[in-house]
């Protein structure tokens, strides 16, 4: 064999060796989520990540929303599960952190934490050790969807105050239009419905008093705000007690209803269901003219790293990338969600308007403060609100049930 041939063979062998090692070193990590509907967007985002990090490939794996906590906790208990886990926030996250299932994130491993605002980081922080375990992915805003075409056709202007809301609703009803599409048939949304319409009557001061232990839900301000919900009943659809959130959405999209109390998380869905919809998303009616418009805000969840992941380094790299402006810009554009990352540009006019509402929004009280122990504020409120709306209990009774139930674990309420 000539020297030339030997040289060529050696060159080919080194090339093959190099190629094989690059393939062998590629790391496959998985991303677990309940957001099946976001698969295409996430795959596009992960494609961008792999372009910048050719040695890491991310596999999107989704599970049904309703069973997600069970599936994730069972997998993690068996030291399995995705390398990166899409988590919910606050109390939901805390039970997983307590069990040691997630890796703490810090500036050394995830420098993009610096891009997150303080209130967003709270949603992914474990209260006991003050460490962040989940990088926040989106803020959600609760407010009022307005079908602009229905209002224009009826010759009415969308309301900004409670009194206007009642006047406009009467006029819409007379024209055969459901003023408010919502019913009480979906437990998880009922809790949001309460937050949407009561927060403008409560104000930031009430939240401060509640969280500092100065007052409880028995506070006359809260009872009076609950009482306002009863005034909505004549303007909701016939048989509203049994109307679920999906039906409410259809009534709104089809123009049978003029307004819908809802969340910014549905903007993209409604646009895809009715591309011709001419809608706005505004703050719910203020208590009186001149008040600050107060939508309700909370952080939906975040991205956490499985503490038993065999590919922790790659998983941390991905989570860090998910906290960058590059990710946030594209995430908001593709999914119609508001990324909390500082400096993210939201080009969509409606979403940009929602982001503006966030500047004066109030926290979703139950989700942010009262879902950490059992019984949760959500369990108590969801159980009682349908009874109050059907008239079988009063706002006072609901407020007392909520306070007494929470007093089991929330010390400031004990004995009050």
Partner 1 sequence: MTAGWRHTERPFPWRRSLWIAALLTPALVVMVLFVLWPLLSAFRLAFYEFSGLRPSGFIGLENFRQVLFEKPYSDWTYNAFKHNVIAFLALMVFENGTAFLIAFALLKALPGHRVHQVIVFMPVVLSAVIVGFLWKLFLHPLFGLVNQLLGLVGIAAIPWLGSENTALGSILFANIWHWLGFPTLVLLAGMQRISKDVLEAARLDGAGDYALMTKIVWPLIAPSVTIVTILTFIGSFNWFEIPYVMAGLTGSPGGSTDVLGLYFYRTAFGSTTTGIQDFGQGSALAVLMFIFVAGVTAIALRYLRRREIEQ
Residues that bind partner 1 (CB under 8 A): 34, 65-70, 73, 76-77, 88, 91-92, 94-101, 183-188, 191, 237-243, 247, 251, 371-376, 378-380, 382-384, 386-387, 390, 392, 401, 404-405
Nearer to partner 1, 126 or 325 (CB): 126
Alpha helix (H) residue ranges in 212-324: 220-230, 245-253, 267-273, 312-321
Q: DSSP state, 310?
A: T
Nearer to partner 1, 46 or 68 (CB): 68
Which of 378, 412, 184 has the alpha carbon at shortest distance from 298? 378
Nearer to partner 1, 238 or 349 (CB): 238
CB of 190 to partner 1, least distance (A): 8
CB of 256 to partner 1, least distance (A): 9
Residues 6 or more apart in contact with residue 118 via CB below 8 angstroms? none
CB of 70 to partner 1, least distance (A): 4
Q: Give the whole-angstrom CA distance, residue 320 versus residue 333.
A: 19
Q: DSSP state, 102?
A: B
Can you read off the two tokens belonging to residue 250?
């259809």
Nearer to partner 1, 56 or 399 (CB): 399
CA 295 to chain centre: 14
Q: Give the whole-angstrom CA distance, residue 183 versus residue 84.
A: 37
**Within 10 A of 11 (CB to CB), how many other CB atoms are there?**
10
Helix H, strand E, coil C: the string for 271-287 is: HHHCCCCCEEEECCCEC
CB of 166 to partner 1, least distance (A): 23
Burial class of residue 207 (count of CB atoms within 10 Å of its CB; 0-12, 13-18, 19+): middle
CB of 83 to partner 1, least distance (A): 19
**Within 10 A of 19 (CB to CB), how many other CB atoms are there?**
10
CB of 182 to partner 1, least distance (A): 12
Residues 6 or more apart in contact with residue 97 via CB below 8 angstroms? 126, 133
Nearer to partner 1, 73 or 109 (CB): 73
CB of 342 to partner 1, least distance (A): 28
Nearer to partner 1, 361 or 388 (CB): 388
CB of 293 to partner 1, least distance (A): 26
Nearer to partner 1, 179 or 185 (CB): 185
Nearer to partner 1, 148 or 416 (CB): 416
Q: Give the whole-angstrom CA distance, residue 195 versus residue 85.
A: 28
Sign for the CA dihedral angle at 398, 392, 198, 286 comes to: negative
């Amino acid at each position: 064999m000539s020297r030339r041939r030997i040289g060529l063979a050696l060159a080919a062998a080194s090339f093959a060796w190099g190629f094989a090692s690059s393939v062998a070193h590629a790391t496959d990590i998985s991303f677990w989520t309940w957001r099946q509907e976001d698969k295409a967007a996430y795959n596009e985002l992960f494609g961008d990540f792999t372009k910048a990090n050719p040695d890491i490939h991310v596999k999107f794996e989704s599970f049904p929303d309703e069973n997600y906590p069970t599936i994730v906790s069972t997998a993690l208990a068996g030291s399995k599960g995705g390398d990166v886990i899409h988590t919910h926030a606050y109390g939901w996250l805390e039970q997983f952190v307590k069990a040691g299932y997630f890796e703490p994130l810090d500036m050394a491993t995830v420098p993009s934490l610096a891009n997150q605002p303080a209130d967003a980081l709270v949603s992914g922080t474990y209260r006991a050790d003050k460490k962040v375990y989940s990088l926040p992915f989106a803020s959600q805003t609760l407010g009022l969807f307005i079908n602009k075409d229905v209002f224009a056709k009826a010759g009415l202007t969308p309301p900004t105050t409670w009194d206007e809301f009642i006047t406009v609703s009467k006029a819409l009803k007379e024209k055969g239009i459901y003023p408010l599409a919502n019913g009480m048939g979906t437990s998880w949304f009922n809790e949001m419905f309460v937050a949407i319409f009561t927060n403008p009557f409560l104000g930031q001061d009430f939240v401060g008093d509640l969280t500092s232990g100065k007052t409880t839900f028995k506070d006359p301000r809260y009872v009076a705000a609950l009482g306002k919900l009863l005034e909505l009943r004549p303007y909701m659809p016939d048989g509203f007690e049994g109307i679920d959130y999906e039906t409410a959405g259809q009534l709104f999209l089809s123009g049978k209803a003029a307004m819908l109390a809802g969340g910014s998380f549905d903007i993209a869905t409604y646009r895809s269901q009715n591309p011709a919809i001419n809608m706005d998303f505004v703050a719910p009616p203020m208590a009186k003219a001149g008040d600050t418009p107060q939508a309700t805000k909370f952080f939906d969840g975040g991205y956490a790293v499985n503490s038993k992941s065999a590919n922790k380094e790659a998983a941390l790299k991905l989570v860090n990338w998910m906290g960058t402006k590059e990710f946030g810009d594209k995430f908001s554009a593709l999914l119609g969600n508001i990324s909390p990352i500082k400096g993210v540009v939201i080009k969509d006019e409606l979403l940009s308007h929602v982001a503006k509402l966030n500047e004066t929004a109030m926290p979703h009280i139950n989700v942010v403060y009262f879902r950490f122990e059992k019984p949760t504020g959500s369990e108590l409120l969801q159980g009682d609100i349908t009874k109050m709306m059907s008239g079988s209990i009063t706002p006072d009774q609901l407020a007392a049930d909520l306070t007494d139930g929470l007093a089991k674990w929330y010390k400031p309420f004990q004995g009050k």
